[in-house]
Structures are given as structure tokens and as C-alpha cells.
Structure 1
Amino acid sequence: MPVIAASTQLTCFGDGSRTWDALTQGRCGARPFDPTTAARLNVGAGYPIAGGSDPGRAAGWLVTVLRAAVAQAGVDAHRERVVVVVGTGLRQLADVEHWALTATPCPVDKLHFGSAVRAALPGVRDIVTLANACSAGGHALAMAQDLVDAGEADVAVAAAADTTTLSMQAMIGRVADRPTERVRPFDRDRTGVLLGDGAAAVVVAPAGRAGPRLARLLATGLSCDAVHETAPDVGGMTRAMRDALHRADREARDVRVVVAHGTGTALNDPAECRAIHEVILADRGDPWVTALKGAIGHTSGAAALCGVDVALRGLRVGAVPPVVGLGVPLAEADGVRLVRDRPVAVPGSLTQVNSFGFGGVNAVTLLEPAC
């Protein structure tokens, strides 16, 4: 069973430590748009990383988290066979938009993350990029575990990066009745999702490798239901949950903490509550459930690994942060033990991280403390 040797993330609050502090303090990182932009897009705010307006910013954030994670784990790509798997939802779309709006030539060789990864980790053996919507980071983590388990890599790094784009914001605005000012996961009066800038990296290593051991990476369950282009499917969610439990040889009732996908949208939140009911509560489980997007926004392909980073910090200190922005829970959350207002103490135990993407690409990861 492989271990997670290092993890880091970058959000609107800063690095993983600053993000954890903001979550436990119940802070919201949303920043309002100027009135003209808000009116034009019908989107009121976003969750930006400071200074993130230049072309190539997503690749730059990816370099930052990769360098931090491999340094933390003591990875030497010249001595170890290292593979990096990058998950992303939007890839370099923000750069394409910039070049289109400024009528400048588009350097095609910059439209992938390979050069950024090689700059961050000279000597890396191979780089794979997965564009799997909002669960891309979870799929990258599943592939990283497979590479280590199969002996195809001495160390595998699952990484992810995404930045806000005009086209995605315009799409959000088209389906909203009014501009959303903040994300409110599982709240009765939620008004919709907002995008957040984000990047994260997780180092996966064999259990016998010398170095840090943050947690055991039990499994990532996957499903691809393809029921609808954008709407979630409860059946696909539950299949990913059960696949993770089966691979990990664990019972649903043993899950003590769920880091939910929690987008604050009319379709995802009720569906995710139903899936938790059908899999965990139906097996007499009663986990604490939290969600991050009220604090950091929807970081697209980076969302799963941002959730993993928070889960790892929670395992270390025995605490679960609250759902930022949650006032009155929606009716479908009845019986779901949502963390509200302040962190709760939960001794290190089995933790589940949900990520669900457009088209029904779902990934659910299970972690537990390292022995």
C-alpha cells in the first residue's frame, strides 16, 4: 500500500498552511468584481490568487507546488524514476483567451504543462496530462498510485493546476438567475458556484521508501457514467464511492470524515447528499462532512488534490474545518452531519475525498493515518 510522502497546495489564501488556517477560521476568499465586469458576465466575484493575471500563470503555480512537494519528500529525479501526472480541467485556456483578445500569435508549444514540469523537476522520466474536468486531480492521483503499485515508477507525483477563464465565467453567468457573490455549499439559499484559482501536488511513494509518511493512500475509486454533459448522476457518484471502498477493503461505516465536492449548485449538492446517504449512512456510518469551495472557490481540476491536502492536514491534527458559507442546510442534507461554524475534533481515521466532474467523471479517494 503506497503512502503520501508530501502534499502542498496554492489557493486564493496562499500555500497549504495558510489555506488550512483560513478554513479553520471560517474565512471566505471571494473577491468582488468591478460593477462593469459583474454586469457583463452576470458573475459577482471570484477567488483569485494574488497577482494572477499574466499569461502562463497556471503553469507558474504548477511549478511552485511541484517544487515544494518534491523538496518536502526529498525526491531526486536524477536518482529515482519519477513520473508526474498532471490533472487539469481548463488546461491553458486563459492563455488562449489572452492571445485571442490581444491579437498576438499563440505559441502552441506553451499549451501544455510539459515544459513547466521539466523546469520544476529536471530529470523527470515521464509526464502525463489528464484533462478530466473537475475530478482531474483525483484521476491523476489514481494513476500515480497505479504507477507506484505496478513498479513503473519509484515515485509518482500527482499534480493539478487551473485558473479562472472568461469563457467559464460567462458560462456560469448564463445559468444563474443573478450574480453569485460567494459559494455556499449545502446551503438552502445557495445561488451557484464561482471559480477559484488553484494548484496542488501530492507525492506518492512505496511504503518502504525512506522519508516522510503523511498518510496511507488506500485507493481512489473511479466512475464515468456519461449520463449528462453537465448534470451529476447519483448512481455514478455511488459507484465511485463503492469502488474506492472495494479497492481499499474497507466498510462504508468506517468512514469518519468526508471532504465533499460541495459546489453550492442546485444539482450537485442534493445529489452528493443522496450519495452519502445511500453508501455511508445506509451502512450505519455517521461521518463528519465538510466542503472547501465556500472558502476557496471551485478550483476546477485542482479541486480533488486541494481536498486531499486539507484531508491530510486534518488527519495530522485531528480536526475537520467547517463548511464556510453554510447557514441553513438544504433539505436533502437532513441526517448528514455537516461541520458548521467551527472545526470539530476527529482523531485521525478513515477520510474520504469526493470529486465529481462534468460528463460524470468521478473520483473518490480514501486516506488513513500512516502506521
Structure 2
Amino acid sequence: MGRGVDALLAGLREGRDCARPVTAFDTTGFAHAQGCEVPEGALHTPAGTGLGRAAAFAVDATLLALQDAGLEASALRSVPVAVAVGTTDGESRDLDDIVGLEVAGATGDGSAVLARRVQPLRLSAAVARHLELERAEVLTLQTACAAGNYAIGYGYDAIVSGDVEIALTGGADALCRKTFTGFYRLGTIAPDVCRPFDADREGILTGEGGAVLVLETLASARARGARPYAEVLGYGLACDAAHPVAPDVAGVARTIRTALDRAGLEPADVDLVSAHGTGTRANDVTEVGALREVYGDALPRTVSIKSMLGHAMGAASALGAASSALALRHQFVPPTINHRTTDPACAVDCQPNVSAPAALDVVQNHGLAFGGNNSVVLFARVDRGTAA
């Protein structure tokens, strides 16, 4: 969709489909290879840093977030700051390049440098190093496709406990051959587009990107004249470990209930669910089944931005969080695009194909991962309960 808040907001409102042929690696031998790559030129990699693509996403998203929040990096250098970045693959994209160097017979110092960059901690460390932070708590969370929400939960706790004044939280991942091939061999890569909750859905489209949110107390935001997008009410985490890849209804439902309990909310308080919504047969039925366990027949509208952005792995729920905050700020529901016929086995109002204005007070954002790593974060309109 591009770079920055305005590009994301415009894309969500118009229901932009970001699917295109994969160019990140040689797709020879795959029957189909559609994905959702960040366009050429959209990622701004700081010069001379030697960052891998995933770390560059984390750094660039952080710089955009600080700019949007009206914060100068220099003002953060001597204050306690948490930096939490979620990821699935870290710099696994570099492994593709190492293999390419070996095939070309050009191994040596180049492959050694790439190998050193693969360590996932480099994603959050790159942010702290680029901002020259002196009192940073630095953490990279590797809870796969739930990792962005995990990072937001970590930042929330760090703020609430008073350990830090600012938390920079989100997720970053770069499209890589390893993950594409893994999902392809599982038979879960869609041949053309992603159709969550649709009777004809055929799977995910792998994507990439980065999203970072600035968290601080409301008092801090007001003192410096900032206007928050949303309030983080609470979150829930669970790891049911029921199966290596198959999702579990009870585990997802438990995560939702935990988030609601910690936020002090009832199910009826939730206006919109930003679902994990991968478009696979198993995920969509399981996720809606878990929602029914909690909400009964009174399901909130349930949408999937992966229909537009693809599945950005560790960045997915961070992008979902940013989208949830934008939906609250601008009072609209993003669409689930490519929709034709709702599958009765996962029947939800998925706001098919076009966005719509809506009165939203609370949005529930899902991140579900292999191994039963589940995460749910609840966001609210800052002025809910008062005149807007």
C-alpha cells in the first residue's frame, strides 16, 4: 500500500488489493507465486547502516511513527524507552541471498556478513542503535504470526508499570523463499488472491512490511499536545500448543476472554474484530468458531485486512493494530475484499469488498500463530463515552 499512515489509510478505505507476482526470489518451479511485496522505493533504508530488509522495515516504521507522534529522536536518548519488535523470520531473507552467493560461487566475506545479520535480536537492536538510545529495553519477540500483538502487550506492560516513558512496539518481516515454500508445501498458498471467510478461499498470500506504534500514558500525550489514535485497553496471550500448525478453538477463545477480562469489557462492548483472517480453510473456521464461543450469535463485524495486505507474518498483527487505530480515529470499517460468497461454516459480516462509515468505540485485533501462540489486543476510541 505504500509508506506511512496516509498511504495505509487510503488503501484501507478504497479496499486496495496489493497482490502481485513475487519478485523477491526465483519462483521457477512453483505452479503459482503471488504475494504482497512492498513496492520498490517505499522502504527507506538509512544509508550506511548495513541493515537487512526486515530490520530496515523496523527502523523505517519507527522513524515514521515518531514523526507522526511529534517526537524527536533526540528527546528519547536519555529517557527510559522500551523497543519491542515482533517477527516470524527475522532476517531469513538473507539466507536466500547466501544460497544465491553459493550457487554463484561467490561465497566469502559477503555470506559471512549476511549470516551474522540473521540473528532476530538485530531487528529491535537496530532501532535502538539508529535512534542512539541510551536507556532502552530491547526485545525481539519471535512468536511467529502473533508477534506484533505480543510486542504491543510488552510495551503496554512496560508503560503501565512505570518502567519506561515511551514504548516503540510493532512488528517487521521481509518476504523470503523459506516461508513461502513452507506454506506452499502445506498447500495453503492461494493461486491468485486471498479470500478470507469466502466459500472459495484457497489460502494465504505471503507479504511483508513493518508497523510500529508509539505507546505512552494519556497524561504524557496530553502534556505535549499530542492527539492519540486510540487507547490500549488490555491484551490476552495464550499458547495452547495443541498442534504444530492446526489452530484450536478453545485456545483462541481463551485468549479472547483473557483480553476482555483484563480490559474490563463485556463481549457486547466490542464493535469490530480485526481478525487474523488468513483465508485458509482451517484458520477461518476455527477463528469464527472461537468468536462464537465468546460472543454466541451476536458476533461483531469481523474483517480481514490480509485480503488486501497479504500475510506479513510477524508484522501482520502490528499492521492490524495500526489499522484498528485508524478505524477508531476515522470511524470506518475496512473491507474484506475479493469476497463473493460467505462460507456458512464461518459466517460473519466481513464488510465485503467496500469500506463503510461506522460508529466504533472498541476494536479487537487478533494475531494467531502456529503452535497455538495466540494474541488479542483491545483498542478503544480515546474519547469514548464523551462527546467526540
- Would the TM-score normalized by the shorter structure come out above 0.5? yes
1:38 to 1:93, Cα distance in 2 relative to 1, 3 A: closer
Question: Is the contact between residue 42 and residue 179 of structure 1 (CA under 8 Å) also seen in structure 2?
Answer: no
Q: Which runs of no fewer than 5 residues in structure 2 stay unpaired?
A: 46-50, 384-388
Question: Is the contact between residue 351 and residue 367 of structure 1 (CA under 8 Å) also seen in structure 2?
Answer: yes
Q: How many matched pairs?
A: 356
C-alpha deviations, 1:138-167, integer Å up to 9, x for none? Answer: 100111011111111111111210011111
Q: Offset of 1:23 from its aligned partner?
A: 2.4
- Partners of 1:204 and 1:166 lie apart in 2 by 33
Q: Offset of 1:13 from its aligned partner?
A: 3.5
1:139 to 1:171, Cα distance in 2 relative to 1, 3 A: same
Corresponding position: 1:293 with 2:303: no
Corresponding position: 1:116 with 2:115: no
Identity %: 30
Corresponding position: 1:233 with 2:248: yes
- Partners of 1:178 and 1:142 lie apart in 2 by 30
**SS of alignment partner, residue 29 of structure 2:** helix
For 1:180, the equivalent position in structure 2 comes to 191
Quick one: which amino acid aligns to residue 59 of structure 2? V
Question: Is the contact between residue 189 and residue 203 of structure 2 (CA under 8 Å) also seen in structure 1?
Answer: no
User: 1 or 2, which has the higher strand percentage?
Assistant: 1
Q: Offset of 1:169 from its aligned partner?
A: 1.2
1:145 to 1:337, Cα distance in 2 relative to 1, 3 A: same
Question: Is the contact between residue 350 and residue 367 of structure 1 (CA under 8 Å) also seen in structure 2?
Answer: yes
Corresponding position: 1:41 with 2:30: yes
2:52 pairs, out of 46, 51, 56, with 56
Quick one: which amino acid aligns to residue 40 of structure 2? G
For 2:265, the equivalent position in structure 1 comes to 250
For 1:319, the equivalent position in structure 2 comes to 332
Question: Is the contact between residue 190 and residue 264 of structure 1 (CA under 8 Å) also seen in structure 2?
Answer: yes
**SS of alignment partner, residue 267 of structure 1:** helix
For 1:357, the equivalent position in structure 2 comes to 369
Moved more, 123-132 or 300-309: 123-132
Question: Is the contact between residue 43 and residue 173 of structure 1 (CA under 8 Å) also seen in structure 2?
Answer: no
Q: Give the TM-score, by structure 2 length.
A: 0.86
Question: Is the contact between residue 42 and residue 173 of structure 1 (CA under 8 Å) also seen in structure 2?
Answer: no
Structure with more contact order per residue of length (Cα contacts < 8 Å, sep ≥ 6) = 1
Structure 1 residues 1-371: aligned runs within 5 Å:
12-33=1-22, 38=27, 40-51=29-40, 56-73=52-69, 74=71, 76-103=75-102, 104=107, 105-107=111-113, 108-111=115-118, 112-124=122-134, 125-176=136-187, 180-209=191-220, 210=223, 211-280=226-295, 282=296, 285-334=298-347, 336-371=348-383
1:93 to 1:347, Cα distance in 2 relative to 1, 3 A: same
**SS of alignment partner, residue 123 of structure 1:** coil
**SS of alignment partner, residue 40 of structure 1:** coil
RMSD (Å) for aligned C-alpha atoms:
2.1
**SS of alignment partner, residue 354 of structure 1:** strand
Question: Is the contact between residue 82 and residue 157 of structure 1 (CA under 8 Å) also seen in structure 2?
Answer: yes
- Partners of 2:112 and 2:31 lie apart in 1 by 29
- Partners of 1:213 and 1:138 lie apart in 2 by 18
Q: Give the TM-score, by structure 1 length.
A: 0.90
Q: Which runs of no fewer than 5 residues in structure 1 stay unpaired?
A: 1-11
1:201 to 1:183, Cα distance in 2 relative to 1, 3 A: same
- Partners of 2:314 and 2:152 lie apart in 1 by 12
For 1:7, the equivalent position in structure 2 comes to none
For 1:4, the equivalent position in structure 2 comes to none
**SS of alignment partner, residue 62 of structure 2:** helix
Q: Offset of 1:277 from its aligned partner?
A: 1.3
Q: Offset of 1:79 from its aligned partner?
A: 4.1
